[in-house]
Structure 1
């Protein structure tokens, strides 16, 4: 059963080691035909990365990890959230921009079919991998279950993830509403997951890993690490969120997911630009700039 599976899954391999294991090889004949353009800190890219690791572990494909840093380096090469222009990205990473014309991760370049197929956007990349390896179960065979996965993905994209960034980036007088909106979105996600799989385990139940788990997984990882550190936020351990907590305990020890977890302190430092209001990335522009009135930046980043 999935509890034995959970115990078996307690083998940890860091994201840094996974990146090294899939780094470009010296010999062209040793290169994988599937190239994955990723930024280690990006939760959207992590969705695709976990799917790739899952398929790689199953022996269904191999891939090459191409690291992308879309931001201007800070002092002493520290992380910033000031993006390179598209022209600068094209000059620095021409193959990446060819695969992702907006210069956003994740992106895939697949040469397995003779030519080169390019794919970008996290959902599209994940569905492409699911279609490439239908036997993997990344997307379930049932049209009803596939619809459940897509509806859960849409809910997380519109009712959870934006409020994660708003709570991190908004000033204190605006932050409480963002917190309540985040809790409301997570409460609905809990109820939806409970309805889909009341028996527990992954989104589809038991150990059935799927794209449904990647709708929210990378942000569940960041809630305690990032929101906990910068905003003192903790997801309440109440019945309202019980299914989410139980699901997270299963997902966080899933081998493919663990292989894509980078050092927590490194991840926390990377989000300082969002927490102190200095970020000008696409995420910052999208969520801080929502509506007619631009919210006031948060102020200096501090951790609890």
Structure 2
């Protein structure tokens, strides 16, 4: 297993890359589809610019691991006129990434998350660290869940788009990885049942997951995470792991809080052992770290108080990477073989 970090820009400084190397990071995941040069101009990345970026990363000993396709927005999911261009852009992006030798892409679909079903709040943890909390009970007025008919229509449009993306990706030797719905409210399209449904609908071996430990723990705790890693891992459907810890879950507490790797409900070494048991060889990524004193976090309004994207001199990321490297070293001693 290797360690990757997510960045939300392609404009990485030499300081960014130098600190990644100093911390022992192996790979870079690109979390925003429109960050690649060419997307704003033509709808999909420019191959020459992408190869320049890849070469620059390699000059520092880093690899491009996972990239993100241009978004499929509500316009496509609601079948609005002209929205087919979004799918065309995603397909062209797959071709470009495949040509550049990048093996994992993620496609976002508007509507896979039910916003307005829980209240985000600032979780203050040890020493004043700031993290993301979400509570169902704190929200006085909840937005309605889509109807069965609305969800059926949404899934049909997802299938239609995904089928074309998956087929092109298969030709280009690219894996297509879906991230679970975050926040994992009941009936979310890419919740526990939805993840199984993706595999049922798309049996191609290049279809799998960015398996987010934190998101799935929010849906059911440690036992759910261990079961899903065992199930999907045995099928070789886990392409990337978001390696993070949480406290509580929506079913047990009606709320959860993101936590540092050593300070949540999950035993991260046991999870690493489960990943090893199913033969996982990809990257583990410290996702949604907390904000330490002095940090300048990369925040997103949709996940308030979550420090999602890498920034140089982030103490939260540095702490997480060191902790993960220690776990990997411990795994070598425990298993008696190197990774």
TM-score between the two structures when normalised by the length of structure 2: 0.31
By relative contact order (CA 8 Å, sep 6+), the higher-ranking structure is 1
Name the structure where strand makes up a greater proportion of residues: 2
Name the structure where helix makes up a greater proportion of residues: 1
